[in-house]
Structure 1
Amino acid sequence: MLSRREVLAAGGVALAGGVAGCGGSPPSPDATFDAPTRAWPTAGYDPQATGHAPAGPPEGTVSWSVSRGSLDPPLYGALAPPVVADGAVYATGLATRHYRPDDFTSPLAAIDAESGSVRWVEGFPDGLSGGPAVVGDDPGIVVVGGYDGTLHAVGSDGSSEWAADLGGRLGTPTAYGNRLYVESGNGRLHAVGSDGSRLWTADRPGALELLVGPDEPVETTMPVADDRGVYAAFTPFEREREAVVVLGYDHGGGRRWRTVLDGRYGRSPGGLAVTDDALYATVGGTVYALDADTGKERWRFVTGSEAAGPPTVDGERVYVGAKNLYALSRTDGVERWRVVNEAPPSHDRDPTELPYLARPPVADGRVYLRTGAVDAADGTRLWGGDADEWLQSGNYFAQPYYRRPMASPVITEEAMYLTHAHHGVVKVA
Structure 2
Amino acid sequence: MSEDAADRRDVDSSPGRRDAGADHPSATAVAERQGRGAGDRQLSRRRLLCTAGTAGTIGLAGCAGRQYRSRPDCSPIASAADADGYVPLPADDDISMFRRGLRRYGYYPEETVPDAVRVDWSFPTNGIGHTAAKSTPRPTPDGETVLIASDTGRIDAVTPTGERRWRIDTGASRSLGFHGTPAIVDGTAYIGGYDGDCYAIDIASGDVIWRTSAREFGGAIAIGSSPAYVDGNLYLLTEHKNPASGTLWEIDAATGNPTWSDDRIWGMPHPSPAIDCRAGRLVTGSNDGVVYCWEFPSLEFAWSFQAGGEGGPNGDSMAGGRFNLGAQIKGTIPVYDGAAFVGSWDGRFYRLDLEDGSEEWSFQTDNIVMSNPAIVPEDGVVYVGSDDRHVYALDTDTGDELWATNVGGRVIGSITATAETILVGSYDTHLYALDRETGERRWRVENRGHVTSGAIPRDGRIYYAERGVFSNHYDEDEETVLEERGHAYCLVPDE
Q: Aligning the two structures, in what range does the TM-score lie when normalised by the shorter sequence?
A: 0.5 to 0.7
Q: Does 1:130 align with 2:135?
A: yes
Task: Select the residue among 189, 196, 200 that pairs with 2:198.
Answer: 189
2:370 paired with 1:357: yes
In 2, the alpha carbon distance for the partners of 1:176 and 1:113 equals 30
CA contact (8 A) 2:334 2:340 kept: yes
The match for 2:396 is: 376
Question: Which of 170, 178, 181 matches 1:170?
Answer: 178
**Structure 1 unaligned residues grouped into runs of 5+:** 57-84, 88-111, 344-353, 397-405
The alignment's C-alpha RMSD in Å is 3.5
Q: 2:246 and 2:195 mapped to 1: Cα distance?
A: 15
Distance 1:125 1:300 in 2: 35
- 1:341-356 aligned at under 5 Å gives the runs 341=365, 343=366, 354-356=367-369
How far residue 280 of structure 1 moved from its aligned partner, in angstroms, is: 1.0
Supply the distance in 1 between the matched residues of 2:12 and 2:162 (Cα, whole angstroms).
19
Q: Does 1:244 align with 2:242?
A: no
How far apart are the structure 1 equivalents of 2:263 and 2:393? 34
Structure 1 residues 160 and 15, CA, compared in 2 at 3 Å: closer, same or farther? Answer: closer
Partner of 2:227: 223
Deviation at 1:268, TM superposition (A): 3.6
Match of 1:261 in 2: 264
Match of 1:307 among 296, 321, 328: 328
CA displacement at 1:179 relative to structure 2 = 2.2
Partner of 1:394: 409
| 1:50 aligns with one of 85, 88, 104 | 104
State the secondary structure of the residue aligned to 1:220.
coil
Of 393, 403, 424, which residue of structure 2 is paired with 1:418?
A: 424
Is contact 2:20–2:213 with CA below 8 Å preserved after alignment? no
Distance 1:407 1:313, change over 3 A: same
1:54–1:148 Cα change, 3 Å? closer
CA contact (8 A) 2:249 2:258 kept: yes
Instruction: Report which stretch shifted further, 329-338 or 140-149.
Output: 140-149
TM alignment of 1:116-155, pairs within 5 A: 116-124=117-125, 130-137=135-142, 139-155=143-159
Higher mean alpha-carbon deviation, 118-127 vs 249-258, is at 118-127
Residue matched to 1:91: none
Which AA in structure 1 matches 2:339?
A: R
Q: For the residues of structure 2 that align with 1:7 and 1:334, how far apart are their CA atoms?
A: 48
- 1:318 counterpart SS class: strand
Aligned CA distance change for structure 1 residues 7 and 272 (closer, same or farther; 3 Å): closer
Provide the secondary structure at the position in 2 that maps to 1:359: coil
TM, length-normalised to structure 2: 0.59
CA contact (8 A) 2:17 2:208 kept: no
1:275 — aligned with what?
276
Establish whether residue 338 from structure 1 lines up as the match of residue 362 from structure 2.
yes
Give the ranges of 4+ consecutive aligned residues of structure 1 lying more than 6 Å apart after TM superposition: 1-10, 31-34, 125-128
Q: Indicate yes or no: 2:336 matched with 1:320.
A: no
Q: How many pairs does the alignment contain?
A: 328
Aligned partners of 1:361 and 1:411 also within 8 Å:
yes
Does structure 2 conserve the Cα–Cα contact (< 8 Å) formed by 1:244 and 1:268? Answer: yes
Kindly state the Cα deviation for residue 420 of structure 1 after the two structures are TM-superposed: 0.2
Residues 50 and 275 in structure 1, CA contact (< 8 A), matched pair in contact too: no
Equivalent-residue separation in structure 1 for 2:122 and 2:109 (angstroms):
29
Kindly tell me: are residues 43 and 254 of structure 1, through their superposed partners in 2, closer, same or farther at Cα, counting changes over 3 Å?
A: closer
Percent identical residues: 18
SS, match of residue 246 in structure 1: strand
SS of 2:117's equivalent?
Answer: coil
Match of 1:366 among 371, 374, 381: 381
Contact 2:135 / 2:149 at 8 angstroms: preserved in 1? yes
1:55 Cα deviation (Å)? Answer: 4.2
Tell me which amino acid in the other structure corresponds to 2:251. Y
Secondary structure of the residue aligned to 1:289 is strand
Query: Do the aligned partners of 2:224 and 2:271 also contact (CA within 8 Å) in 1?
Result: no
The change in CA–CA distance for 1:149 and 1:55 in structure 2 (over 3 A counts) is closer
Q: Is 1:159–2:163 an aligned residue pair?
A: yes
- The equivalent position to 1:409 in structure 2, one of 407, 410, 415, is 415
Partner of 2:215, secondary structure, is coil
Residue 63 (structure 1) aligns with: none
How far apart in 2 are the matches of 1:114 and 1:9?
Answer: 45
Q: Secondary structure at the match of 1:425?
A: strand
Aligned counterpart in structure 2 of residue 35 of structure 1, from 86, 89, 112: 89
Pairwise CA distance, 1:235: 1.1
Quick check: 1:189–1:232 contact (8 Å CA) kept in 2?
no
Residue 82 of structure 1 corresponds to none
Contact conserved, 2:125 with 2:152, CA < 8 A, in 1? Answer: no
Which digits, 9 at most, give the CA deviation of each residue in 1:206-254, with x for residues without a partner? 58x33x6xxxx43522222122410121113x5x633101111122122
1:377: Cα distance to partner?
Answer: 1.4
Q: Which residue identity does 2:374 align to in structure 1?
A: P
User: Does the C-alpha gap of structure 1 residues 409 and 261 become closer, same or farther in structure 2, counting only changes over 3 Å?
Assistant: same
> Counterparts of 1:170 and 1:7 in 2: how far apart (Å)?
15
Letter in 2 for 1:170: F
Superposed counterparts of 1:199-210, under 5 Å: 199-206=209-216, 209-210=218-219
Distance 1:313 1:136 in 2: 23
Residue 17 of structure 1, CA deviation: 6.6
Shift of 1:19: 9.4
Unpaired segments ≥5 residues, structure 2 = 24-66, 81-86, 91-95, 309-325, 386-390, 436-495
Opposite residue 104 of structure 2, the aligned amino acid is T
Q: Which amino acid aligns with 1:375?
A: D
For residue 161 of structure 2, give the secondary structure of its aligned residue in structure 1: coil
Structure 1 residues 42 and 417: CA distance shift in structure 2, 3 A: farther
The equivalent of 1:76 in structure 2 is none
Read off the aligned partner of 1:203 and give its amino acid letter: S
Q: Distance in 1 between matches of 2:202 and 2:114?
A: 28
1:241–1:219 distance in 2 versus 1, CA, 3 Å: farther
